[in-house]
Amino acid sequence: MSATAKPPVAAKTPAAEASPGRGALRRNLPPARRFLAGRKRVLVRLGGWSLLESAQTFLGGYCLAQALDRGFLAGQTGTGLLWLAVAATSILGAGPPMRGVFAQLAELTEPLRDALVRRAVRQALRRAVTDPARTDDRSDTGAVSRLTHQTEIVRDSFAGLVLTVRAFVFNAVGALIGLLALAPELLLVVLPPLVLGIALFLATLLPMASAQRDFLDADEAVAEGVGAVSAGHRDLVACGAQADAAERTGRLIDVAERTSRVLARWAALRTVALGVAGQLPVLLLLVTTPWLLRQGVTTGALAGALTYLLQALLPALHSMMTALGAAGTRLLVVVDRFQDATAVPAPPKVPAAAQAQAPAPVAEAGRPLGRRPSRTASAVEVRDVTHAYGPDSPPVLERLHLTVRRGEHIAVVGPSGIGKSTLAGVVSGLVAPDDGTVLLGGEPVTGRTAQDLAGRRVLIPQQAYVFTGSVRDNLLHLRPDATSRELAHAVRTLGAEPLVHRLGGPDAVLDPRSLSHGERQLLALCRAYLSAAPLVLLDEATCHLDAAAEARAERAFAERAFTDGTRARDGALIVVAHRLSSARRADRVLVLDGTEPRFGTHEELLTSSALYRDLFGHWQRTPSPPVGR
């Protein structure tokens, strides 16, 4: 049954929505400062080893300039070779400094990873203690992801950032000192475009982080929306809500497209910044060569300047911009996820009146909750239906005959995989049988539109589907014209008042990710109860509710099938049973055993069906434990 595909989208404040990158930076800067402030000695040692890299950069360009000016161009080949030997020695001696750099890098990254692991564990424990009802598979998966994948992303991204930023800073120091030593005029040519490009790049960092976060959020929303539609496609078809689901999914895709375009524009601007800082200095150096020569700059100095640019500054600048643009943005977003997951909202208080309300009385085991039908006309007729999932597959349903009278409550039982859900699909019109006919209210199911079928029957599958929107929108989706009194009656009848109060009332915004499976089922049951469709099919739709809530729901739908307020209702209730207690409450029971189906009352089947007798005997010995909501 349930509703339209509208995937959950996290609510944002206007400020955060305007610039999530800036908000993430504000949240993460204080912890980052505290982390680095506690490791000053490590940073000093890292800087010390990096100074040796600055010396190597300085010697690379300076020695080449001297080798040309004092050696080869002056006719002193030996002197030139000696200067080149000094440059080569500085390159070969880079091993120990790099080992020192990586040793200090480990002193930074491993404590960071350990701190994130501890934070992830605290978050998981706090969530489990604060709200154990919502500690389900999804929250477990998120905790595992933070403990493993996300912590590794942070560690690797942080290490890459430290390495690349450090390399650029100390390479730039060595290169700029070398340019100054060769000829101060070189700085007049190289420094302005370099500073302009770096400033332009830094100006794109926060907008790029904001665009990256928006893109990731939109991408996740599309993935969640498509996944939710895929999981609830049977539900959507049953409701005739395909067009609405397609429209909502299309809007999510449009948002993702817009965010990707924004991200692409900032990436293009970043490319311009890289060109200004990385390529323009080389071009200007070549263009201004005649002027520089007139100023007394030597040929060796020009060659040394090109060496500084091409061998040190430009590679380091390109690596830094790439790292800050990709790894830096990813680091900001992932660390912000750790911050977001820290706070676990306390559930709203349930009013005393709602807490005090006791569940409706549950009928004694063995006594049907529904009233015996007083009419002989049929609500559902299944005539000689056969269905198989493939031409070479054995039939799941074979020449099945079934008549459900108006006002009747029946249960369908049998082993897993025997065809119970297939029968629900055939009756609801979602599955076309290979042979045979299905009638609802005396009219064939085949050939009817989804909207027409939605007015004749409502199907709730095991995976109840809810969407982002108000609680009221979710409950009234199948019947938007229902009054507030009718909505309150449905919520009260199905025992959903505490849940609605905890969510904040009918007008509160509902986030599907915050609901347990049982809470989803309870909302879906309320929605189906409000539907005008006379036939209700519950396909293990209460499997995540406890036994008392399940009995209450079946009682409500059985009475609803028989009467609508004070009027007789030409409805019926078909329950694909999750527990055998559902069979005890039904007027009649259909037993599917793969050979010859049996249909009768509980007492009749105990005599006529060996399978039912075995199932019921097993259920009596080992009753199913309640499943918490």
Q: What's the CA gap between 534 and 540, in Å, rounded?
A: 19
Residue 241 has pLDDT above 60, yes or no: yes
Q: Is 447 left (phi over 0), alpha (psi -120 to 50) or beta?
A: left
Which pLDDT does position 561 carry in this prediction?
Answer: 63
Which pLDDT does position 11 carry in this prediction?
Answer: 36
135-169 pLDDT per residue, tens: 444 444 445 545 556 667 777 777 777 888 888 88
96-100, 175-179, 372-376, 443-447, range with the lowest pLDDT? 372-376
Q: What's the CA gap between 262 and 220, in Å, rounded?
A: 17
Collapsed DSSP state (helix, strand, coil) of residue 69: helix
Q: What's the CA gap between 333 and 429, in Å, rounded?
A: 46
Which pLDDT does position 249 carry in this prediction?
Answer: 82
Q: What's the CA gap between 417 and 420, in Å, rounded?
A: 7
pLDDT band with cut points at 50, 70 and 90 for residue 44: confident
The tokens for 11 are: 């609510």
Q: What's the CA gap between 621 and 345, in Å, rounded?
A: 41
- The residues that bridge with 409 in the sheet, in sequence order, are 573
276-305 pLDDT per residue, tens: 888 899 999 999 999 999 999 999 999 999
Residue 21 has pLDDT above 70, yes or no: no
334-360 pLDDT per residue, tens: 666 555 444 433 444 444 444 444 444
Q: Which residue type does 46 have?
A: L
N-terminal to C-terminal alpha carbon distance within the chain = 20
The per-residue b/e assignment along 183-213, b for 16 or more CB within 10 angstroms, e otherwise, is bebbeebbeebbeebbebbeebbbbbbbbbb
- Phi, then psi, of 412 in degrees rounded to 5: -115, 125
Q: What's the CA gap between 570 and 455, in Å, rounded?
A: 13
Q: Which of 363, 361, 359, 360 is CA-nearest to residue 587?
A: 363
Q: What's the CA gap between 133 and 117, in Å, rounded?
A: 24
584-598 pLDDT per residue, tens: 889 999 998 877 888
The tokens for 570 are: 């030409």
80-128 pLDDT per residue, tens: 999 999 988 888 877 777 788 878 778 877 777 777 777 767 766 666 6
pTM above 0.85, yes or no: no
Which pLDDT does position 321 carry in this prediction?
Answer: 77
Torsion of Cα atoms, 328 then 329 then 330 then 334, to 10° = 100
566-586 pLDDT per residue, tens: 444 567 999 998 788 888 889
pLDDT band with cut points at 50, 70 and 90 for residue 20: very low
Q: Which of 343, 344, 337, 345 is CA-nearest to residue 147?
A: 337
Q: Is 436 left (phi over 0), alpha (psi -120 to 50) or beta?
A: left
